[in-house]
Structure 1
């Protein structure tokens, strides 16, 4: 209940808007339309159609895009800059490159140097189970990385360190890495897709009205809840 109230409060509605919304919710027809809308945007077939349209439109603009839909893994709980609680969703997606290793020697000791490719989503606001505000990040690895992290404690510690360092370096925050906790969650919040966008080599743009082009992109994005867009490709660690 506290979470729902906080999300409603965050909409920053005027008193008139709240009253109008309350009156609308009393009407069965409006409630039915609202339920139909929620079912439509959550329909996997609609989501797939939306993604294909965005991929095609981006190709017309000279970009190859890949949707990264995170598969829940586990959650790291910490705090940001010592003031706000945060959650890091350690997720998986097949489009992220697999982990790799190479022989290494440090101070005379032989071992392996690992590269753990990953992708991130922009931070988003949420609330914890007490209704207090928090911030949520997604760090997405290849499924093999998560599998190894859950099977091997040392490898898991390396994955956790990589996830924390990625959040700190990309979003310029400081995490409390000395007091990491691991709640019994596979994912905090609602999964958000990201897009990895890469320019198409040798692409020659067609002459188009930029205003019409932008309007078309906006129209397609408004059809469903569009994902957060991240232009950065996964960076090896």
Structure 2
């Protein structure tokens, strides 16, 4: 009887995910300002000069370019209030600048202007996933052990399975933690490329390229894995 090699089976599972809530391939012509969600056709809105660029890409010939100066995209949907449910958020990123106050991969306000969850690169070039309460206090945090390499495509992911949280860099489990915290709230859009645009320096605009951004309502990764080798099918 034929048996799939473990790595191949894992890769097929990673690329095909039927719990996808948002999928951005960032495909298109150079300098386009049209961004399409390939999962559920959620409207994607633009702020600043975010564009499709063919200068860099991981897959598909193009990616999203964020200039680090007032540019981001956002989705207005309740799909990203996870509560205590499982989820995975992942992307390929390519930084054009290190040592910045912060580069936000994604963020979402929860109940007011201070409470949010976010996935970002800090001034030490490490990746963080945090949640802040209504007073801006960080009540939960995961921080990578490794640092991001300049101008190199890197796969990053954060996932939750039950009360276990996991943070991955290029398929390697960097840190995990157990917490029963609920990630939900009534306010705010889901932003890609910015933290708090109205409050510099905490705007933390991303400077670089993002490709294959996916949000799923399942815990796709809980152990080391092979990063995707092609565009996500779903």
TM range (shorter): under 0.3
TM-score, normalization by structure 1: 0.22
Hey, which of these two has a bigger chunk of strand by percent? 2
Larger relative CO (CA 8 A, sep 6+): 1 or 2? 2
